[in-house]
A and B are shown apart, each in its own frame.
Chain A
């Protein structure tokens, strides 16, 4: 099969170019990442991020045939005879398939991704009922791969002002947490035309999430919390 990969070396290139590789998958190779790593074995200038190789760390998020996904859990047989690989859209490219995620993590940090409770520290852990814990299902599984945020048009045009789907999913993960005591401040921070309301419910985020999560629904839940608070 043919794999076409976006190549960019900031020291040599003024813009990106596509490089074609011919490669036949071998029987033990099941996922796209296996092929990319074999290509890297043959051409060590090819640069990408990867760590766990099994969809847990989220580091090999790239744009595969026009759609964001994790190379390590994209089956080769789903690609057909040709795969076009590019870096995540809208993120500055450092080299080849590696993008700069500084702005993405800045937005993530801005929603205070930790339980806030100004009360006294408990002797042991902060207790949570099984029912309250269940409300975090579909939220805590996010691996921050940025597939969603990098597919979001609202984020493309305002990466510095709009939190983006990944950050907002995490914002709701802590709003929904029974142990968190910071609901008012969290909602105050998000009640902004850009930070939350730049979302136009296009739902590209939910379309591409490799963990099948629904950032768009988390965003709606936050909007409903704001609406309920105002009524």
Chain B
């Protein structure tokens, strides 16, 4: 018997305790979406900075804007998290670090390392 659509289902994510692996997976998605959305802007800025000395100066001046700096730090967080989480996934796919104990440790490592890299980037920007 198929459940009628009106059936009550408990699925309140705020009331479900998500393990660190689930949090890492959500952040993996969030960082992926941010990276995809940023592609046009980053590609444009990169191309312009390489086009000629004036273009480079334009982008350098643009990057001195505090709002742009914050966005750049966020982008570096997204890139680091997505890259590290992706490597963690690929290793897990060939059965490296796929036991629960290691998977928990590597999930914490990815989450913390991405934030540390973003902090280091912020330090370099300011």
Known: A207-B21, A216-B98. A201 touches B7 (CB 8 A): no
Tell me which residues across on chain B come within 8 A of A102, comparing CB atoms.
1-3
CB atoms of B9 and A201 under 8 A apart: no
Whether B103 is near chain A, meaning CB under 8 Å from some CB there, is: yes
User: Which DSSP category, helix, strand, loop or mixed, fits chain B's interface?
Assistant: loop
Which A positions have Cβ atoms within 8 angstroms of B? 6, 8, 10, 13, 15-16, 63, 65-67, 84, 86-93, 100, 102-103, 151, 153, 156, 200-204, 206-207, 214, 216-217, 220-221, 223-224
Chain B residues close to A by CB (< 8 Å): 1-3, 7-11, 15-19, 21-22, 25, 89, 92-95, 98-100, 103
A-B contact pairs, 18 of them (CB 8 A): A15-B8, A16-B8, A66-B16, A89-B11, A90-B11, A92-B3, A93-B8, A100-B3, A102-B2, A153-B25, A156-B11, A200-B25, A204-B18, A206-B103, A214-B100, A216-B98, A216-B100, A224-B95
When distances are taken between beta carbons in the complex, the residues of chain B under 8 Å from A153 are: 22, 25
Contact of B16 among A13, A89, A100, A220 (CB under 8 A): A89
Contact A207 B19 (CB under 8 A): yes
In the bound complex, residues from chain A placing their C-beta under 8 Å from that of B9 are 89-93
CB pair B16–A63 under 8 Å, yes or no, is yes
CB neighbours (8 Å) of A10 from chain B are 8
- Return chain A residues, CB-CB under 8 Å to B8: 8, 10, 13, 15-16, 92-93
Q: Smallest CB–CB gap between A85 and chain B, Å?
A: 11
B28 to A: closest C-beta gap in Å:
8
